[in-house]
Structure 1
Amino acid sequence: MNPIVLIHGFMDQSAVFNSMFLYLENQGYNVHAIDLTPCYGTADLKVLAQQVKEYIDKTFEKEEKVNLLGFSMGGLVTRYYLQKLGGVEKVDKYINVSAPNNGTIMAYLLPFLGIKQMRPQSDFLLDLNKDINESLSKVKCLFLWTPFDLMIFPPKSSIMKPFPVERIPVLTHKWMISDRRVLERVNKFLKEK
């Protein structure tokens, strides 16, 4: 099984993945979770994506494939790594969980650069979304979202067609990485051929 790298979101650290980390370890996966710095929305998401690239390049053999999961802001950071920093050559499977793929109006609450990049129609998102089909075609993808998300608003902003998208009715944004249904779906996806 390929190792899996978990990338957290805004105001989080790798510890946010404790439930998922333990669940996946118990399923036999080699699990990694890194701390993006700074994680407060002040940094350009491109800079955080570079941190993901550096970690993966340093930690794994050049020819070794990994699986990647990005949660919330981490979903945009990981997409930038895949689409713009050559990550598609390194990643076999990609899971995007409750990310503001088409922006969130909650990003109007703070004036920081990384937060502004998460606003609907931001230059960052327009650039990232214009070639998504072509740039992610080499990777097996799964996008997960909940209709009850109040951080990603509207919640359907997480949906990225034509990729496989699944709605899991989890009651809060943060629970999307600890809810048993999500953990089981992630495991099932990782085990698919």
Structure 2
Amino acid sequence: MKLVLVHGIFNTGQVMGWMRRQFERQGYECLTPTLAPFDGRRGIAFAAKQLQSHIEATLAEGETICLVGFSMGGIVARYYLQHLGGEKRTKALFSISSPHHGSYLAWLPYPSRAMRELRPKSQLLSQLADCQERLEGIALYSFRTPIDFTIVPSRSSHWPRANNRVIWRPLHLSMIFSRRVVAEILAGVVQLSPGGETTPQTGQGLQRAEE
């Protein structure tokens, strides 16, 4: 089972590098695709189709994955699951500081369709909320920090359908450098892995970073 790490807006796949190394140290293969344009100006659906293309071009048909989506990446991952058939091969979605209910910061005047779609009560977020039954059978997790000035309010990352975790971290981006977040994701992946006794030990050998 591969882990697919999906970056957020104004980033590339490189921003997931530290987290990727932690998972690889535990024996998991990871994909960290870069979704262009980096500012999401062509929208969530466009980014999700890129994600779909990357997964299908890289992995064998029927090969299962777990998705780890940071910020906008969590919403891109949901679109892939709920509208592009990604649920057929996905065992879990771990969203990290993703604006499931939008962010008021997305009202900033920037020419990005994705930013408009991440505003509270946007049409896209409403559509995703209305077809969550397509996520049946997928383990769902949502991590958030109360000290988040990008997802405003930070509680917008609370996803009633998911297993929610509150991790006290200073600021939005720091969530993908949290050893605790990595350890909890690994624990969730282990629960989904057949033959758990041969699965890498979670939390051991993690590169030092802030908790």
TM-score normalised by L of structure 1 = 0.96
Query: How does 1:132-151 map onto structure 2 within 5 Å?
Result: 132=132, 134-151=133-150
- Letter in structure 2 aligned against 1:70: G
- 1:123 is matched with which residue? 123
Q: Partner of 2:32: helix, strand, or coil?
A: strand
Counterpart CA distance in 2 for 1:142 and 1:162 is 9
- Letter in structure 2 aligned against 1:125: L
CA displacement 1:144-193 (0-9 Å, x = unmatched)? 11111110010010111132111111111001111111111111111114
- 1:160 is matched with which residue? 159
Q: Partner of 1:166: helix, strand, or coil?
A: strand
- Letter in structure 2 aligned against 1:68: L
Equivalenced residue count is 191
- 1:20 is matched with which residue? 19
Aligned-residue identity in percent: 32
- Letter in structure 1 aligned against 2:126: L
Q: Partner of 1:12: helix, strand, or coil?
A: coil
Answer yes or no: is the 8 Å Cα contact 2:143–2:164 preserved in 1. yes
- 1:89 is matched with which residue? 88
Task: Identify unmatched segments of 5+ residues in structure 2.
Answer: 193-211
- Letter in structure 2 aligned against 1:18: G
Shift of residue 99, structure 1, vs aligned partner: 0.5
Task: Identify unmatched segments of 5+ residues in structure 1.
Answer: none
Counterpart CA distance in 2 for 1:182 and 1:67 is 15
Q: Partner of 1:192: helix, strand, or coil?
A: helix
Counterpart CA distance in 2 for 1:189 and 1:172 is 24
1:68 aligns with 2:54: no
TM-score normalised by L of structure 2 = 0.88
Q: CA RMSD in A?
A: 1.0
1:113 aligns with 2:113: yes
1:184 aligns with 2:168: no
Q: Partner of 2:8: helix, strand, or coil?
A: coil
Moved over 3 A (4+): none
Answer yes or no: is the 8 Å Cα contact 2:140–2:161 preserved in 1. no
Shift of residue 50, structure 1, vs aligned partner: 0.2
